[in-house]
A and B are shown apart, each in its own frame.
Chain A
Amino acid sequence: MSRLEVYSPEGLRLDGRRWNELRRFQCSINTHANAADGSSYLEQGNNKIITLISGPQEPKLRSQMNVNRATLAITVNITKFSKMERSKSSHKNERRVLEMQTSLARTFEKNVMLHLYPRTSIDVQVHVLQQDGGLMGSLINGITLALIDAGIAMYDYISGVTVGLYDTTPLLDLNSLEENAMSSVTLGVVGKSEKLSLLLVEDKVPLDRLESVLAIGIAGSHRIRELMDEELRKHGKKRLQNASS
């Protein structure tokens, strides 16, 4: 992949987007009503993610029980067929995946009102059916939706997005081709605020450019929050109609 093609002089990216455009974002909740207490299905570009939440429920092991608050456990299952080329190893127990799980758990621990559910466990399972860059952001969005569907009390939405820096231009919501060609920053933004719950910079970014990258990232995350909110309200209206009729 030559570096030139990533962002054309006319301001178009590989998939025809401009620098500040998000990928197609589609989500739905309550997709696995019989299998879990809360569930969501998210498509962000070519990322396809199923999130299942069971809980708050009695913990399987007594050692996982906390008398003051709920225990939040997140398992990320990246399927072998999730990329174009099938991977030979299952990604469980890879340090990269363990790091993701820890980061996600720590992100949501501060945002879910865990103290309302003492002595319980909330188990989140995320299955990545397909991935195409910006995975961490999509995982955050999927989990937020599923937690809301499960009716678990949260302070606010957390929305995530990945921003890249190409030369001096920040590019919003990277796909995997772009992610491989440039350094990327992943953000997890709380609600409509400018507060970051998660911030990961994976590769070299000039210190003085970081601020502009964060600015576009926060704007993108707010847009994703709106899209999720729209879908949730639509779903809620439908549920309400079904209940009253």
Chain B
Amino acid sequence: MVLSVTEKAYLYESLSAVPPLRPDGRAAHQFRPVELFTDFLPTSNGSSKIVASDGSECIVSVKAKVVDHTVDNEFLVVDVDIAGHRDDSQFVLSIGSILTKVLTQQLEQRGLQLTRKYSFKLFIDVLVLSSYSHPLSLISFAIYAALNSTYLPKLISSDDDLDVAELPLFHDYDLEKLDVRVPLLFTVALVGNNVLIDPASNESDVANNGLVVTWSNGKIGTPIMTIGLNDDNVKGFGSSHIRTTLEMIEKCAPQVVKALDGI
């Protein structure tokens, strides 16, 4: 969306007012509605589709493969594809690397280990069909839902194969739910002295800065970092911004987790 200078100034003023006046009437800590579907791709172990109210849409597929983890110690691959952006563009690569880093750090590898030699390797493919605001938070919700609806084949052979070398055997049809705690990423926009969660595209356009906060295991985790939401309004921010952001996330995140788990 292209805003004129006057529109931007008006928007900036209203967003930095106390309390902030957001164009869609939301409170500072309020999300836009999203629709979420899971388990619609039979050829993947887990899948989800999330649609935001502005038409942003993201599809995630989780596929698992048995690998020898003594040879291949990468247990997770995240691949991001955003329609309209080249695969080697800075934007796509940075989102991919943030997700890889967060998930590799926070996911417990133990849940994937099958035997002392073999474990599952997860391939998380993210396809963003359309995005208007920064898609990171939306992607992370989708990954959360996809991993929590992932079912993997049930192991029936023994889990100690160091003495007798054998390939793991699986039950013909029984599946086990993947038990992992998935981190969530929240994006907030900083406008004036205010912190706004889930910024829409017009709000992102006038934001002074953006922050990404990780939420894992029921508390705020690392990394916490800045992201550029636009190119021309960027300013620095103070410690009070960070404090407000963290307080806000601590209040909102449990509700989001509850909502996502309710699916």
Q: Are A and B a genuine interacting pair, yes or no? A: yes
Residue numbers of A with Cβ under 8 A of B are: 32-36, 46, 48, 50, 52, 77, 79-84, 86, 90, 92, 125, 127, 129-130
Cβ–Cβ contact B59 & A129, under 8 A = yes
B9 surroundings in chain A (CB, below 8 A) = none
Distance, CA A32 to CA B57, complexed state (A): 9
B65, A35: Cβ atoms closer than 8 Å: no
**Closest A residue to B87 using CB positions:** A90
User: How far in angstroms is the closest Cβ of chain A from B174?
Assistant: 19
- Determine the chain A residues whose CB is within 8 A of the CB of B87 once the complex forms: 90, 92
- With beta carbons under 8 angstroms apart, the residue of A32, A48, A80, A86 that contacts B130 is A32
B 40-77 binary contact with A (CB < 8 Å = 1; else 0): 01111000000001111101010101000000000000
Judging by beta carbons under 8 Å apart, are B41 and A77 in contact?
no
Residue of B whose beta carbon sits closest to that of A80: B125
Checking A33, A46, A77 against B42 with a beta-carbon cut-off of 8 angstroms, the contacting residue is A46
Binding site for A on B (CB under 8 A): 41-44, 53-57, 59, 61, 63, 65, 79, 81, 83, 87, 123, 125, 127, 129-130
A34–B41 touching, CB < 8 Å? no
A77 and B83: CB pair below 8 A? yes
Q: Are A35 and B44 in contact (CB under 8 A)?
A: no
Cβ–Cβ contact A127 & B83, under 8 A: yes
Instruction: Report A-chain residues with C-beta under 8 Å of the C-beta of B81.
Output: 77, 79, 90
Chain A nearest Cβ from B127, distance in angstroms: 6
8 Å CB contact of A32 from B55, B63, B79: B55
B129 and A127 form a contact (CB under 8 A): yes
A79-B127 contact given A90-B81, A129-B59, A130-B43, CB 8 Å threshold: yes
Query: Could you say which residues of chain A place their CB within 8 Å of the CB of B130?
Result: 32, 35-36, 52
Chain B at the A interface: SS class: strand
Chain B residues near A34: list those with CB within 8 A: 53-55
- Give Cα A53–Cα B56 distance, bound, in whole angstroms: 15
Q: Are the CB atoms of A86 and B41 closer together than 8 Å?
A: no
Closest 4 CB pairs of A and B: A34-B55, A35-B55, A35-B130, A81-B61
CB distance from B124 to the nearest CB of A (A): 9
Which residues does chain B contribute within 8 Å of A82, judged by CB atoms?
43
Alpha-carbon distance between A47 and B54 when the two chains are bound, in angstroms: 27
Which A residues touch B53, using CB under 8 A?
Answer: 34
Cβ of B149 to closest chain A Cβ, rounded Å:
15
The reply to whether A81 and B55 form a contact with Cβ atoms under 8 Å apart is: no
Q: Considering the chains assembled together, what is the distance between the CA atoms of A35 and B54 in angstroms?
A: 8
Contacts of B79 in A (CB 8 A): 80
Which chain A positions have C-beta within 8 A of B42? 46, 130
B93 shortest CB reach to chain A, Å: 14
Residue of B41, B54, B65 touching A129 (CB-CB under 8 A): B41
- Interchain CB contact under 8 A, A81 and B123: yes
A161 CA to B65 CA, complexed, in Å: 33
* B55 engages A83 (CB within 8 Å): no
Partner of A81, one of B41, B54, B83: B41
Residues of chain B contacted by A50 (CB below 8 angstroms): 129
Query: What are 21 A-B interface contacts by the 8 Å CB criterion?
Result: A32-B57, A34-B54, A35-B129, A46-B43, A48-B41, A50-B129, A79-B61, A79-B127, A80-B79, A80-B123, A81-B41, A81-B43, A81-B63, A82-B43, A86-B63, A125-B83, A125-B129, A127-B129, A130-B41, A130-B42, A130-B43
Would you call A32 and B129 a contact (CB within 8 A)? yes
A86 to B81 alpha-carbon distance, docked (Å): 15
Contact A79 B125 (CB under 8 A): yes
User: What B residues does A81 contact at CB under 8 A?
Assistant: 41, 43-44, 61, 63, 123, 125
Minimal Cβ-Cβ distance residue in B for A125: B83
The docked-state distance in angstroms from the alpha carbon of A79 to that of B129 is 11
Contact in complex: B129, A52 (CB < 8 Å): yes
> Which residues of chain A are near B57, meaning CB under 8 Å?
32, 35
Q: How far is it, in angstroms, between the C-alpha of A86 and the C-alpha of B41 when the chains are bound? A: 13
- In the complex, what residues of A have CB within 8 A of residue B41's CB? 48, 81, 129-130
Bound complex: CA A50 to CA B59 (Å): 11
Nearest neighbor of A84 in chain B, beta-carbon distance: B43
Give B45's nearest chain A residue, CB to CB: A81
